Amino acid sequence: MKVRKAVIPAAGLGTRFLPATKAIPKELMTLVDRPLISEVVTEAVKSGISDIIFVTARGKAAIEDYFDIDAALESHLEGKGSEGVLREIRHISRMVQVSSVRQKEPRGLGHAVLCAMNAVGAEPFAVILPDDLVDSPIPCLAQLAEVFGNTGKSVVALQEVPPEETHRYGIIEGVQTGPNTFRISRFVEKPPPGTAPSNLAVIGRYVLVPEIFPVLAGLEPGSGGEIQLTDALDRLAARDEVHGLVFDGIRHDAGDKLGFLKATVHYALKDESLGPPFMRYLLDTLAVRGGR
């Protein structure tokens, strides 16, 4: 069955980016010239998704506005003859169907996904965490969708992380079933240092079967006092196949300042017109610093 819907949790307070996030949703912070969230929405569209469900909270209305049609702006650009920008503005608001549901209390990622239950209905769906940016020739979600297409079972994106970082992630235990695939038997959310069952971390891309919803609904708070998606996957794995795919691509964690800066440099260097002068600037700056 085709994966048509993607849930994008975007209700977080963005405290790591205060004071900026006092007035701007973290998801709209700018990566070169685009809001962060447009990266993952574009990835979803390129992966065949036709419906996006944002899970938002108070103060996040600007996310929907970004993907909405702005008739006044379009006629202004038309009048000015700004063809290129106009084309892009039109594309952003028409490339995908967008809706949103509210997460009224910050009760964790699992709870955020549960908030989208009625909007998703009884079909397989994707979850995309907008902090995790993956740059790859084949979109990361499309790589997962292919595994789902072959198995019909839930599949999560995996990446090897250094042992000293496993406490920051959901970590899996499983058996390898192919060059990059695993059948997962156990998930642990943010295991204390030294207790992780492997160094394979779950990265923010999931294709899930709708059977995950009743599991989420029955969960008690887990790590950090929050309802964890990882805990629901652990329960699901006890009774159904859950697969993992070590995806092909470069991942940036734009959820903290250093990761966001690294992502900015990565995407700026990739930009056709900005890349070369920015690279010269970086090299000059490094040479000056190195010479000190």
Interacting residues with ligand G1P (CB under 6 A): 109, 129, 132, 169-170, 189, 201-204, 228, 230, 255
Q: Report the nearest approach of ligand G1P to the CB of residue 47 (Å).
A: 18
User: Which residue, judged by CB position, is nearest to ligand G1P in the bound state?
Assistant: 170
Q: Between 139 and 226, whose beta carbon lies closer to ligand G1P?
A: 226
Residue 225: phi and psi, rounded to 5, are: 75, 15
Would you state the structure tokens that stand for residue 27, as one six-digit string? 């998801």
Q: Report the nearest approach of ligand G1P to the CB of residue 106 (Å).
A: 11
The one-letter amino acid code at 108 reads: G
Q: Which residues, including other chains, have CB under 8 Å from residue 12's CB and lie 6 or more apart?
A: 26, 57, 106
User: How far apart are alpha carbons 158 and 182 in whole angstroms?
Assistant: 9
CB neighbour burial string for 220-245, b if at least 16 within 10 angstroms, e if fewer: eebbeebbbbbbbbbebbeeeebbbb
Q: Report the nearest approach of ligand G1P to the CB of residue 247 (Å).
A: 13
Q: Report the nearest approach of ligand G1P to the CB of residue 202 (Å).
A: 4
Q: Would you call 129 helix, strand, or coil by DSSP?
A: coil
User: How far apart are alpha carbons 2 and 148 in whole angstroms?
Assistant: 9
Q: Between 27 and 132, whose beta carbon lies closer to ligand G1P?
A: 132
Q: Report the nearest approach of ligand G1P to the CB of residue 129 (Å).
A: 5
Q: Report the nearest approach of ligand G1P to the CB of residue 80 (Å).
A: 41
Q: Which residues, including other chains, have CB under 8 Å from residue 23's CB and lie 6 or more apart?
A: none
Q: Between 3 and 129, whose beta carbon lies closer to ligand G1P?
A: 129
Q: Report the nearest approach of ligand G1P to the CB of residue 109 (Å).
A: 5
Cα dihedral: 218, 223, 227, 228 (round 10):
-90
Q: Between 110 and 124, whose beta carbon lies closer to ligand G1P?
A: 110
Q: Between 41 and 254, whose beta carbon lies closer to ligand G1P?
A: 254
Nearest to 204 by CA among 132, 266, 259, 145: 132
Q: Please say whether the beta carbons of 174 and 182 come within 8 A.
A: yes
- Other Cβ atoms closer than 10 A to 117: 18
Q: Between 48 and 259, whose beta carbon lies closer to ligand G1P?
A: 259
- The answer to whether the peptide bond before residue 19 is cis (omega within 30 degrees of 0) is yes
Q: Between 25 and 170, whose beta carbon lies closer to ligand G1P?
A: 170
Q: Between 77 and 155, whose beta carbon lies closer to ligand G1P?
A: 155
Q: Report the nearest approach of ligand G1P to the CB of residue 171 (Å).
A: 8
Nearest to 246 by CA among 203, 209, 187: 203
